[in-house]
Structure 1
Amino acid sequence: MWERRSPERNPQQASERREETMEKAEIGLIGLGTMGSNLALNIAEHGHRIAVFNRTPSRTDAFVESAGSLKDMVVPCYGLEELAAAIRPPRPIIIMVLAGKPVDEQIAALRGVLSDNDIVIDAGNANFRDTMRRFSELSGSGLTFIGMGVSGGEEGARHGPSIMVGGTEESWKRVEKVLTAISAKFKGEPCAAWLGHDGAGHFVKTIHNGIEYADMQMIAEIYGILRDGLGMAPKEIGKVFEEWNKGRLNSYLIEITAKVLAADDPKTGKPVVDIILDRAGQKGTGKWSVIEAQQLGIPATAIEAAVAARVLSSLKDERQAAEKAYGDMGVEKISGDKAALLKDLELALFAGKIAAYAQGFAVMSGASKEFNWNLPMPTIAKIWRAGCIIRSQMLDTMAEAFGSGGASTNLLMAPAFIAMMKEAHPSLRRIVARASEAGSPVPALSSALAYFDSYRQGRGTSNLIQAQRDFFGAHGFERIGEQGAFHGPWGSGAGH
């Protein structure tokens, strides 16, 4: 399936000619879709010869022709044997194909042409549990497996992504030079790092995407308040985000939000955002981050709310039927001083983002213990500072907080973030309350607030839940200041 060849080419002859006339490639890549093509060009542009293969030969030809001045750094291959022969051993080969079964099929095909110490690198959005399985399956085969998270979209792949590597440290050292060269840079530091064994890289990428879900959802919720609660037009809202991007909210997602809201549709002349159907898609990484958080027993409520909001958005027909059933109640206009409200909205979004990051890092910390990865939290924060979708100026402060040990239990406990949340959480509280009264849904922001309130409450309300559990199931409870398990004086009514 994967080694479809162009009938006019003879891979063996091409390989022999290459041995005679061309320097071997340092790395290979399979899958010349948009991400694969951009990553290959990035590698070539940084002076590393790359051998490429695509199961459709015409795609390979088209890629080489489009490479322009980089063509001499690209070695086109039309079969897997030819690809293997074109790369200097030990051969690292990046796979950029659809996640799931296609990756397993490609690995199976490569096992027939690769040699001991060669490295298979899955750079797609894989489920980290699949990565762990593949790492285990290849153990003892002579081949090494790397699961590599790549963030930054098409632009990042071409000009510098954030790269999260999981595998053996030895295999990382073989590809470190190439990967650090092509990665994004923050003040000269490469945004690429080895994070741990087997699925560590893909897990960190999964949580990155979970935080991304929460960040995007909270931005959308603020947009909804500005649009419906304040009656502002897209371009006016875009200017608000543009201004916010100059301050504490400076980040890639805020930057592109301003640009999106400023854009007009060439076909209708209307703002682009106004002609887009309100039904969001997803590819699974957000859902995986929520599942793993639940499996680890770590609350990630803002991320969960964001994933649920996307699912709810997909129920367009049901939502329209519900609007008809309940009447179009709309969103009430929010009155008051506009400048003060905008300031509250900015701080509310800031507080929500901090809570989402805190949850994401807490999940990674839990997974690090569960899977014996020893994930380097300061390094993760550092490699997210440029290239990736959730890059923001806040990550520099996060890196410092984790590096100093101030965030060893939770990011919310780092002195710098305690100060930030003390300033920002009153605004988050006011915005959630006003949005609720106006009928403007803010599931991620309200979940972030509830998480913060629950986390900072020394005595919560779960004592009542424990009493209930003991009443109907004799589960027992702990008493304040006493050791052991106790039962309540429920009498004969218990269990009924």
Structure 2
Amino acid sequence: MNFNRFSRNGTRGELLSFLIEISADIFGIKDDKGNGYLVDKVLDKTGMKGTGKWTVQQAAELSIAAPTIASSLDSRFLSGLKEERAQAAKVFKSIGVSDILTDQDADKQKLIDDVRQALYASKICSYAQGMNLIRAKSIEKGWDLKLGELARIWKGGCIIRAVFLDRIKKAYDRNPELANLLVDPEFAKEVIDRRSAWRRVVCLAIKSGISTPGVSSSLAYFDTYRRERLPANLVQAQRDYFGAHTYERTDIPGSFHTEWFKIAKQSNI
């Protein structure tokens, strides 16, 4: 593969990878049986061999958050509902919901750069999730896998091979016990530098009625992971309310249970 074909200003771009290269090839092929490009004639119904399902199942069993990977799998499931989607499109079109809202203004060159940055930030999140899953399985099985070495091996010949893998190896070389790629100093800076473009792309997609599950779920992963405190306290309170599952407090050690219903009922008397 000639990675240099996709360099930016003569340099090796951050998104250079096998999948980016073949995508560029696909987009450039004309339809020899009609007008336009061949990719537009390919049925939008994705096949699968089961590896995505297995990955998400493993993530669930190991309690590893992998929303980007899961959203990709869900997208494949939804793509398989071709007939249902065709009917749904008719239903929503009949009540005035168009496929794409066309009243969104965007500078083309700015949007291209924003998408590039958003894709790279999302890619960091996706690999972070995958690496965390591999590490958890390695701990469970006692494999003692070296994540940096895995990145090096993948770059040698794999569908995910990319220039980006060099950065991952260096991150784990710097800190073999790295909890998450997002907190590696270099990756953290790159995500922060791209966060505005990332949000602009997601916002524009939402306003335009375009589904971007991978980019959107990656951003949600980042926004969740970077916060010290989450609204999960409400979920735990709900679990204690309906199932007496108990909860921990932020100010006092131990497990607690509250008769939420009784207190709420007394307060309303």
TM-score greater than 0.5 by the shorter chain: yes
- For residue 242 of structure 1, report the CA deviation from its aligned partner: 7.5
Report the CA distance shift for 1:364/1:270 in structure 2 as closer, same or farther (over 3 A). Answer: same
Check if 1:458 corresponds to 2:224.
Answer: no
Higher relative contact order (CA 8 A, sep 6+): 2
Check if 1:329 corresponds to 2:98.
Answer: yes
- For residue 391 of structure 1, report the CA deviation from its aligned partner: 1.0
Q: How does 1:198-347 map to 2 (within 5 A)?
A: 246-327=12-93, 329-333=98-102, 334-347=104-117
> 2-side partners of 1:246 and 1:437: how far apart?
33
| Partner amino acid, structure 2, of 1:330 | D
Query: Which structure has the larger Rg?
Result: 1
> 2-side partners of 1:313 and 1:433: how far apart?
23
| Partner amino acid, structure 1, of 2:256 | F
- For residue 491 of structure 1, report the CA deviation from its aligned partner: 4.8
TM-score, normalising length: structure 2: 0.90
- For residue 346 of structure 1, report the CA deviation from its aligned partner: 0.6
> 1-side partners of 2:119 and 2:51: how far apart?
23
> 2-side partners of 1:262 and 1:424: how far apart?
28
> 1-side partners of 2:195 and 2:206: how far apart?
16
Deviations 1:180-220 (A, max 9, x none): xxxxxxxxxxxxxxxxxxxxxxxxxxxxxxxxxxxxxxxxx
How many residue pairs align between the two structures?
A: 257
> 1-side partners of 2:176 and 2:193: how far apart?
19
- For residue 349 of structure 1, report the CA deviation from its aligned partner: 0.6
| Partner amino acid, structure 2, of 1:376 | K
| Partner amino acid, structure 2, of 1:434 | L
Q: How does 1:88-167 map to 2 (within 5 A)?
A: none
Q: Which residue of 2 aligns with 1:84?
A: none
> 1-side partners of 2:85 and 2:134: how far apart?
35
Paired residues of 1:368 and 1:375 also in contact (CA < 8 A): yes
Deviations 1:51-90 (A, max 9, x none): xxxxxxxxxxxxxxxxxxxxxxxxxxxxxxxxxxxxxxxx
Paired residues of 1:242 and 1:258 also in contact (CA < 8 A): no
Check if 1:479 corresponds to 2:245.
Answer: no
Q: Which residue of 1 aligns with 2:200?
A: 430
Check if 1:398 corresponds to 2:164.
Answer: no
Q: Which residue of 2 aligns with 1:363?
A: 133
Paired residues of 2:155 and 2:162 also in contact (CA < 8 A): yes
Deviations 1:261-307 (A, max 9, x none): 00112222431101111111100001100000000000000000001
**Alignment partner of 2:155: what SS?**
coil
- For residue 243 of structure 1, report the CA deviation from its aligned partner: 5.5
- For residue 467 of structure 1, report the CA deviation from its aligned partner: 1.0
TM-score, normalising length: structure 1: 0.50
| Structure with greater proportional helix content | 2
Deviations 1:388-426 (A, max 9, x none): 111111110100111121662111111110011111222
Q: Give the aligned CA root-mean-square deviation in angstroms.
A: 2.2
> 2-side partners of 1:272 and 1:491: how far apart?
61
> 1-side partners of 2:221 and 2:129: how far apart?
9
Report the CA distance shift for 1:491/1:324 in structure 2 as closer, same or farther (over 3 A). Answer: closer
| Partner amino acid, structure 1, of 2:67 | T
| Gaps in structure 2 of 5+ consecutive residues | 265-269
| Partner amino acid, structure 2, of 1:307 | L
Q: Which residue of 2 aligns with 1:123?
A: none
> 2-side partners of 1:362 and 1:309: how far apart?
22
